[in-house]
Every structure is written in C-alpha cells, then in structure tokens.
C-alpha cells in the first residue's frame, strides 16, 4: 500500500472543519428564518392584520434556498399602518435586512414614522432605503430629518417621484445630513459618517432647500452621489450649490438633468436673495444684474479633482451654453493635474461643439472602445 501523504490528515481535518462550519452557518440561517416567520405571524395576530403574501413568499423562498433574507421589496399596493408595524417589528428582531424598498405605496406620516423608527433602531442593518413614489409631502420633514441624522448605517436613500415632497422637506433632510456629519465619531464602531448616495428625482425641490443643500455639500461633506434630475431649481439654489461645490472634495457624480438651468444672462432681482451670504453680488434693492448660472456652476468646479460625472441633459443650454461647457473641458485638459470629467449634455447645439464635449469629456473614446469590442466579436 502506498504510504499516506504527509499532511493528508491535517488537510482532511481542515476540510472537515470547514464543512462543519458551513453546516453550522446554514443551520443558524434556517433557525433565524424560522424565528422570523413565527415572529411575523405573531406580530400580525397582535395587531389584527393578515400577513402580506409578498412578505410570506420572501420568507418562504429564503427557507427553501437556505439563504439569509436581506432584501424586502413591497410595490404597488395599499399598506395599512398596522401592516407596516407588523413587518418592522418582525424584521427588527431578525436584523439581517440590508435593503428595504417601498415602491409606489402611499405613506401617511404615521407610516413614515414607523419606517423611521425601524431604520434608526440601534443595530439596524439597512443600508439601502427606497421610498419611491410614496406620496411624501412637506409633512415628511421631521421624519426625513431624523432618518438622515440618526440612521448610522444608511448609505443610499432614494426618494424619487415624490412629486409633492417640496423644498421644506428636502431642506430638513439635508439638515439631518449636516447634523450626522457634525456628530460623527471617528472612533465609533460604524464606519459611516453620513448617507453617501442620494436620489431625489422629480421631488419638487424649491428655493427653500438652497442653504441646507449648500451646507450638505460644503466642507466636510461625505456625499458621493447626488441626483436632482427633474427638479426646476431656482436661481438661489444654483447659487448656493455653486458656492458649496467650490470647496467640495467628496462628490463623484452629480445629476442636474432637466433642472431648468436659468438661461444665460437672465436678470435676477438682488432683493430676492437677501441675505445671500456673499453668494451673489450685493445690489441695492430693486436693482437687477445679469448672471450666467452655467458659468457660475462650471467656475466652481474649475479646480475640482473628485467629480467624475456631471449630467446636464434635458437643459436647453443652446449653442452658447455648449461652447461654455466645451471651453471648461478644454481648460481642464490643458491642466495635467486635472482628471477627466464627463459632462453630459443634450444635443441642442452645433455638431462640432457636441462632439468636442464628448471628446474632451472622455465619452467619445469610451463609446469607440465599446463599439470596437462588439465589432471584434463578429466572425
């Protein structure tokens, strides 16, 4: 008989240990899912509601696959406040969900308060929260402020298509981000300073959020992505934002698509922006001055080295605006320390200017590479 290889017992023992550990983890997952199923059923009975089929299905699928349940998605249905309480009570005990999504489900203030309590509970593992098209309005301000300020592990928040949300509620949310940043403890067990990615598409953001947005984007900001698509931003919001971006060193992606960038040189009344904290030139009340918000925005990004993508599509900036963007990108290209910034625009300008923006923004070469790759596959 061939002599046993040296180390074979040790290797075999290691394999058994790994197998045993994997089996223990599987049994632990199944136990947690079983407890979740029981807890959800009991919570529904206590509150006098029927268990939701979608939740039961998600739990059943997790049991069958022997995997953890880390994502809850509820979509297009009427949800009673008590039904939501039953869900959050059960999943607070389970404490393994990382993604919690409500899509097109009308939420009352009480329902939003229930979600806020769940997300801000110490130890909550939810890092991604979607409240899309949930009919949130200005009365959501207090809950959104608490979410932003107290949810320690919340990294991505999507509030898209809450068309009546408004500037007051959004300002309160941004104020919560600033509060979280100011209260951040670098020695704490959590590594999250504040929410990193925010999507606020079509949320009716008004002038009220300008100053809070400026503070959230200013020095010390930890935001990585911000999407304000579809919000008709006012003169004052653009002015506040431009000032903040001049000192921002964290943002990597900013979408201002379809935000109705004020036309070049449209006059504004200085009294509208008093006090404006030096954002716009001080003028006597009643006097008007011409200002180009696109130039103001791009000027604030002249020395920015972190922003990789700026989306301006859906704004009719015209040929003059296109030339402004192109000159901005040309100036960056001439500076060897400036990384490439992709600026996306709608083609309402000459083809030469549009192509130049694509080229100097690095998008033309990227599209060629993709096209070349596809062609290479053909025989």
Say if residue 342's pLDDT is above 70: yes
Which H or E element spans position 33? helix 8-47
Query: Which has more pLDDT, 188 or 40?
Result: 40
pLDDT in tens, 242-286: 999 999 999 999 999 999 887 655 555 544 444 344 445 555 555
Percent of the chain at pLDDT > 70 equals 82
Enter the pTM of the model.
Answer: 0.86
Sheet of 309-311, strands arranged across? 71-75, 99-103, 128-132, 156-158, 197-199, 225-227, 253-255, 309-311, 342-344
Q: How far apart are CA 268 and CA 245, in angstroms?
A: 21
Which H or E element spans position 197? strand 197-199
pLDDT in tens, 103-146: 999 999 999 999 999 999 998 999 999 999 999 999 999 999 99
Q: How far apart are CA 174 and CA 208, in angstroms?
A: 11
The CA-based angle 293-296-299, given to 5 degrees, is 150
Say if residue 5's pLDDT is above 80: no
At residue 1 the predicted structure's pLDDT band, cuts being 50, 70 and 90, is low
Q: Go through the domains of the chain in sequence order and give each one's CATH number.
A: 29-97 (no CATH), 104-372 (3.80.10.10)
SS3 14: helix
Q: Which of the given ranges, 63-77, 157-171, 186-200, has the highest pLDDT on average?
A: 157-171
Give Cα 134 to chain centroid, integer Å: 16
């Amino acid at each position: 008989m061939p002599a046993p290889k040296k180390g074979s017992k040790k290797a075999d023992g290691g394999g058994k240990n790994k197998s045993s550990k994997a089996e223990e983890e599987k049994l632990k997952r199944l136990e947690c899912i079983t407890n979740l199923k029981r807890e959800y059923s009991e919570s529904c009975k206590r509150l006098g509601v029927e268990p939701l089929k979608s939740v039961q299905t998600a739990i059943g699928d997790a049991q069958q696959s022997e995997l953890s349940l880390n994502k809850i998605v509820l979509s297009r249905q009427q949800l009673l406040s008590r039904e939501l309480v039953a869900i959050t009570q059960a999943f607070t005990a389970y404490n393994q969900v990382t993604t919690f999504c409500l899509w097109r489900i009308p939420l009352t203030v009480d329902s939003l308060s229930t979600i806020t309590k769940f997300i801000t509970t110490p130890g909550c593992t939810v890092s991604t929260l979607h409240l899309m098209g949930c009919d949130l309005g200005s009365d959501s301000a207090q809950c959104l402020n608490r979410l932003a300020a107290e949810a320690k592990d919340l990294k991505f928040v999507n509030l898209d298509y809450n068309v009546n949300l408004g500037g007051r509620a959004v300002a309160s949310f941004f104020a919560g981000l600033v509060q979280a940043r100011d209260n951040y403890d670098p020695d704490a067990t959590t590594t999250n300073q504040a929410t990193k990615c925010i999507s606020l598409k079509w949320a009716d953001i008004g002038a009220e959020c300008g100053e809070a947005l400026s503070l959230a984007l200013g020095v010390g900001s930890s935001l990585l992505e911000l999407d304000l698509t579809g919000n008709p931003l006012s003169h004052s919001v653009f002015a506040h934002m431009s000032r903040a971006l001049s000192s921002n060193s964290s943002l990597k992606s900013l979408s201002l698509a379809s935000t109705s960038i004020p036309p070049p040189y449209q006059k504004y009344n200085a009294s509208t922006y008093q006090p404006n904290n030096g954002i716009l030139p001080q003028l006597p009340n009643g006097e008007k001055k011409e200002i180009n918000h696109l130039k103001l925005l791009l000027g604030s990004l002249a020395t920015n080295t972190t922003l990789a993508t700026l989306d301006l599509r859906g704004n009719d900036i015209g040929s003059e605006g296109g030339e402004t963007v192109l000159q901005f990108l040309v100036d960056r290209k001439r500076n060897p320390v400036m990384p490439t910034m992709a600026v996306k625009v709608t083609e309402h300008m000459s083809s030469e200017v549009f192509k130049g923006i694509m080229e100097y923004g690095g998008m033309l070469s990227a599209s060629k590479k993709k096209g070349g790759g596809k062609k290479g596959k053909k025989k």
